Each structure stands twice: as C-alpha cells, then as structure tokens.
C-alpha cells in the first residue's frame, strides 16, 4: 500500500531494501519488515505520514494521467454519496457515522456502510452470520489475508464448520464483496455453514 501511494522517491526505497537483502517479500517467511523500515528511514520518508488520509486538494503522483472521469466529478460523487448515506443511516448509527465523517472530512474513500436491522435478517438453519470489520490499524490487510485469519480462528475455535467435497476440501464460508485495500469498515459480514443444526 505504501509503494502504491508513493511517487518516484519510492524507487530509492525499493533499491535500498533490495541492497539490504529483501527478496521474495510477497512470501511471508521471507518478508523482513525491519529492513523496509530501515530503507524508508535512509530515504527520509515518514512511514506513518504517508499512510494518513489524502485530502482532495493534494496533487497525487499520478494526477498527470488523464483517463475517464475528472477529479472534480469524483469529488462531487463522493459528497453526494455521503449526503445520501446520512439520510438513510439508522438513528443508533448516526453518532458513529458523524464521528467518522469528521475524522475523514474531504478525503478519498467510502463512508460507513449501512447495516440491515436485525428484524430484516432471517435465521437460516445451520448457518451463522458474523459481523466483523477492519479498524485503521488493519486497513492494509488484503482480503485474502483476512480470509486466512478467519479460517485459522475458526479452526482454533473447534466449531463444527462444514467443508466442501473433493481432493482439496475448504471451509464453506461466504463473504461479501472484498473491502478495498486501505479502507476501514465496521459492517462486513461472513456466513458460516456448520455441520450440525
């Protein structure tokens, strides 16, 4: 995420990390975070500062590319979405939504998701629905990393989770659309099919 949000100076960070021995970093067993922090420090790049929300008026490293809708159009759409969301947000969530809007005022990204009321969610035989979310601390974990973490937690909990058939059985889980990298949410849902009713 940091590399994707950076500009040309990130090339120096990549080279510095490479010279420190960083190889095959997409594999967890080879990833050495401390070496990347050292490379960022040597290139005078503040890690925490680069991960803060980006105000609309900031000129982005890729702003010179002209493709599709203009930035002004995207800003108007973002503000319209926030206005419509405020109209349909349940009363018990308004305080939380207002606080988030104040924290993320005039920044790129989506707002708080609407949550269906409990009366609208019908119980399903041998299925469990879990509401989960990502705070700012974990917003750069990918969808697959979250899925692996959930599967590990379910295995450790010893719940009677149902598995698919075939040579490579997997847990019968159903998640909503993947949350974009870098975004937070308190209303993500996961359906788990259990072996017992």
Instruction: Convert the pLDDT of each residue in 172-191 to its tens digit.
Output: 998 888 888 888 988 899 99
The rounded percent of the chain whose pLDDT value lies above 70 is 79
Q: What is the distance between the alpha carbons of residues 107 and 75, in angstroms, rounded to a whole number? A: 9
pLDDT at position 120, please? 43
Of the chain, the percentage scoring pLDDT greater than 90 comes to 7
pLDDT at 72 over 70: yes
Distances (CA, A) of 97 to 53, 159, 183: 17, 34, 15
Mean pLDDT of the 127-140 span: 88
- Asked if residue 177 lies in contact with residue 143, where contact means CB atoms within 8 angstroms, the answer is no
Q: What is the mean pLDDT of residues 84-111?
A: 58
Instruction: Write down the pLDDT at residue 168.
Output: 86
Structure tokens at 49: 């500062």
> What confidence score (pLDDT) does residue 152 get?
92
Q: How confident is the model at residue 109, as a pLDDT?
A: 52
pTM over 0.85: no
Strongest mean pLDDT among 100-109, 122-131, 161-170: 161-170
Give residue-wise pLDDT tens across range 74-84.
888 888 887 77
**Section 55-59 average pLDDT:** 80
In this structure, how many other beta carbons lie within 10 angstroms of the beta carbon of residue 10?
19
pLDDT, residue 151, reads 92
Who wins on pLDDT, 75 or 112? 75
The answer to whether residue 94 scores a pLDDT higher than 80 is: no
Give the burial string for 99-132 (b: 16+ CB within 10 Å, else e).
Answer: eeeeebeeebeebbbebeeeeeeeeeeeeeeeee
């Amino acid at each position: 995420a940091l590399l994707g949000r950076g500009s040309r100076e990130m090339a120096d960070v990549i080279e510095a990390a490479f010279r420190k021995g960083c190889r095959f970093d997409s594999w967890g067993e080879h990833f050495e975070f401390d070496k990347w922090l050292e490379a960022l420090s040597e290139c005078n790049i503040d890690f925490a500062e680069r991960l803060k929300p980006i105000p609309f008026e900031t000129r982005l490293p890729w702003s010179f590319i002209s493709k599709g809708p203009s930035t002004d159009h995207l800003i108007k759409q973002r503000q319209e979405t926030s206005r419509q969301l405020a109209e349909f947000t349940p009363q018990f969530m308004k305080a939380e939504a207002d606080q988030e809007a104040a924290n993320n005022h005039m920044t790129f990204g989506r707002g708080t998701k609407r949550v269906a009321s409990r009366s609208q969610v019908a119980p399903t035989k041998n299925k469990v629905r879990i509401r989960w979310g990502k705070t700012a601390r974990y917003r750069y974990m990918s969808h697959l990393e979250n899925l692996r973490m959930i599967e590990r937690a379910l295995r450790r909990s010893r719940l009677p989770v149902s598995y698919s058939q075939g040579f490579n059985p997997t847990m019968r889980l159903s998640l909503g659309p993947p949350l974009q990298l870098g975004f937070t949410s308190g209303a993500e849902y996961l359906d788990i099919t259990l072996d017992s009713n």
